[in-house]
Chains A and B, each alone.
Chain A
Amino acid sequence: MKIYGVALLAFCFLFGKIVGTFLGQAIGIDGDVGGVGFAMVGLMFAQGWMTKKGWMLTETKNGILFWSSMYIPIIIAMAATQNVKAALSGGWVALLAGVVATLLPMLLVPLLSKIGKPKN
């Protein structure tokens, strides 16, 4: 049933948020730190473990995949609910940072491609 997948996802999400909140508390930040990342790692392990046990049925998976496919629409809704007027004053930051943070990492491709390159 799809709800099993959604429930597993919700469990991993809450688990990650709790770990992130504890980490946040430990370092004195009000809020969760890396909760999404912990939740993702949790989901990957839970999925691997359940697949091994033969519990990861297609329908279960589909419950998770549905939410996975919703992330782009959600990002669009989020973009539409931002305080863009206030952000405009910082427009050049976004433009510059976006261009530089794309082009410079691209230039590292030839360098890092040398690592473990299969010899022909």
Chain B
Amino acid sequence: MEHIESLLIKNGLLFAFLFVGVIMWLSYQISHRLLNNKIPGVALAVIVGLGLAFLGEKKGIADLPLFSGMALFGGAMLRDFSVVATAMGADIEKIKSAGIAGLISLVVGVFFSFLLGVIIAFAMGYTDPESLATIGAGACTYIVGPVTGTALGVSSEVIAISIATGVVKTIVATVGTPLLAKSISLNNPHAAIVFGGLVGTTSGVTAGLAATDPKLVPYGALTATFYTGLGCLLCPSLFYFVLRFLF
């Protein structure tokens, strides 16, 4: 048993691949079979991840020697690398055809979410521009939050809050979209493009649209794909400067 444990520790990154794979499989099964896809598998897996982080302290589950590989797997280098790779799913020609409405909704969506996140964080007692920007970025998506937080050098606590904010957003988008779809006239591709740009959290947008009308999914995903990139570009730069000027 000891030998096996030391073997797993030595091959920490590979054990992390296996471990995350099992988490995702279980989460997708639970989402699909027990929850009827009401909470997307991705959101569930992220919640499981956040839950597992309680087993450790500062570095979450990676504080346990057996799971030390999780720190590399979930570290900034691989994270940013894979996020950049998602730009492949969205070519420039497509954003052109999505049209001016999609573009405007993207900018408005990122700015509005950031603003709401900042207002709430400020109301709850955060006053330094770095934390405010990170939580505001988390209100965009659970990727923009940590990317912004890492760039601005905020504490792991604030980064965790920003991730949690993004996860809440994914769940609310998934559950809320089919409920609100009628009252916001979300019943055609044009509106779906705008919706994807405004809400932006890809897993929530696609899951929410799938629950509303599967035909709308690609249109929402099209703009939502750009949302995280735009957020990663604007939040730690332009939006942060404005905050720094104000506070």
Residue numbers of A with Cβ under 8 A of B are: 9-10, 12-13, 16-17, 20, 23-24, 27, 29-41, 43-45, 47-48, 61, 64-68, 70-87, 89-110, 112-113, 115-118
Q: Whole-angstrom distance between the alpha carbons of A68 and B78 in the complex?
A: 11
In Å, the complex CA distance between A32 and B21 comes to 31
A112 to chain B, nearest CB (A): 5
Among residues 165 to 207 in chain B, which have CB atoms less than 8 Å away from a CB atom of chain A? 165-169, 171-173, 176-177, 180, 184-186, 190-191, 194-195, 197-201, 203-204
Contact A40 B81 (CB under 8 A): no
Partner of A39, one of B20, B84, B240: B84
Q: Give complex CA distance A99, B170 in Å.
A: 9
> Which 10 A-B residue pairs are closest in the complex by CB-CB distance?
A98-B168, A37-B233, A77-B74, A79-B49, A87-B160, A78-B74, A94-B164, A101-B139, A83-B156, A71-B82
Known contacts A44-B91, A80-B52: A102-B85 contact under CB 8 Å: no
Listed by A's residue number, 24 A-B pairs whose Cβ atoms lie within 8 Å are A13-B80, A24-B151, A33-B236, A39-B80, A39-B87, A44-B90, A47-B91, A73-B73, A74-B74, A76-B20, A76-B24, A76-B48, A77-B49, A77-B74, A82-B156, A87-B160, A90-B124, A91-B161, A97-B121, A106-B198, A106-B199, A109-B198, A110-B191, A115-B104
- Checking A102, A107, A115 against B100 with a beta-carbon cut-off of 8 angstroms, the contacting residue is A115
Chain B nearest CB, measured from A14 CB (Å): 10
Query: Please, which residues of chain A bring their CB within 8 A of the CB of B177?
Result: 106
A87 in complex: contacting residue of B20, B88, B157, B195, CB < 8 Å: B157
Contact yes or no, B124 A98, CB < 8 A: no
Q: Are A113 and B232 in contact (CB under 8 A)?
A: no
Q: Looking across the interface, which residue of chain A has its beta carbon closest to that of B55?
A: A80
Q: How far is the CA of A27 from the CA of B239 in the complex (A)?
A: 13
The segment from B3-11, B29-37, B141-149 found at the interface with A is B141-149
A86 to B48, CA, bound (A): 17
Q: Specify which chain A residues have a CB less than 8 angstroms from the CB of B86 in the assembled complex.
A: 40, 68, 71
> How many Å lie between the Cα of A74 and that of B199 in the bound state?
22
> Closest CB-CB distance, A19 to chain B, in whole Å?
11
Q: B23 to A112, Cβ gap below 8 A?
A: no
Report if B46 contacts A (CB, 8 A): yes
Chain A residue nearest in CB terms to B240: A33
Q: Is the CB of B138 within 8 A of A81?
A: no
Q: Which B residues lie within 8 Å of A33 (CB)?
A: 151, 236-237, 240
Q: Which residues of the partner chain A approach B70 to less than 8 Å between Cβ atoms?
A: 77, 80-81
> In the assembly, what is the distance between CA of A43 and CA of B116, in Å?
31
Q: With A37-B229, A82-B53, A106-B198 in contact, do A91 and B241 touch (Cβ < 8 Å)?
A: no
Residue of B nearest to A36 (CB): B232
Q: A82-B156, A86-B156 are in contact. List 10 more A-B contacts (CB 8 A).
A: A10-B81, A13-B84, A68-B89, A73-B24, A76-B24, A81-B71, A97-B165, A98-B172, A101-B116, A112-B194
How far is B191's CA from A112's CA once the two chains are assembled, in angstroms? 8
A118 vs B97: C-alpha distance when bound (angstroms): 13
Shortest A54–chain B CB gap in Å is: 16
